[in-house]
Amino acid sequence: MKLILFDLDGTLTESHPGIINSVQYALGKLGIEEKEPERLVAFVGPPLRQSFQKFYGLSEAEADQAVTFYREYFRERGMYENRVYAGVPELLAGLTRSGRRLAVATSKPTLFAEKILAHFQLDQYFAAIVGSHLDGSRVNKGEVIRDALGLFAVERDQVLMVGDREHDVIGARENGIKVIAVTYGYGSVAELTAARPDFLAASVTELRQLLL
């Protein structure tokens, strides 16, 4: 493979503490109390607006307000309540040395993805960082992958997506590229198996073995 696209949350970084805290902050501002914060792990990966509507029955306007509140916390603290999975920097360095081109394709806004990757000094490995727009557009993973692919002159059969949720697998299929689903992130084995990725990796070590 000449080009490898990586999801961010649950693939490169373990980001749920900051996301959960940001969701709780947003819900609190809306007068909603969530007594089981572990349920909020489901917010990791899918577009935020959709998750607020799905899990709390919010209207479109309410969901937009929830996203605004979420970002208040996330900008200041949430994005840094995060850590890089062990072995990821070494994996990215090895892939770069082998001549592969790397890019990030995430449903997280590009601005936040860039700040997070720079904070952890991972941005040096990526030729492009493509995410959603702050206005709520380009949140569908298929759209993100499509626009990332448009930045590179490479055949689809020479591209691979790596992600941890069914949205990554579905988005890769929509764009005609192969996909590795990692089960150490936030998607369950059942979810990922049902989406039918080309390969499964249970750890960063297994991912490294597949890629290198």
Catalytic residues: 7
Residues contacting 111, CB < 8 A, separation 6+: 131, 134
DSSP letter string over 155-208? -GGGEEEEESSHHHHHHHHHTT-EEEEETTSSS-HHHHHHH--SEEESSHHHHH
Phi, psi angles (nearest 5°) of residue 182:
-100, 130
Residue among 88, 34, 50 nearest 203 (CA): 88
Phi, psi angles (nearest 5°) of residue 184:
-85, -5
Residues contacting 29, CB < 8 A, separation 6+: 69
Q: How many helices (H) and strands (E) does the chain have?
A: 9, 8
Strands 13-14 and 83-84: antiparallel
> Coil, helix or strand for 39?
helix
**Helix 141-149 and helix 166-174, axial crossing angle in degrees, nearest 10:** 50
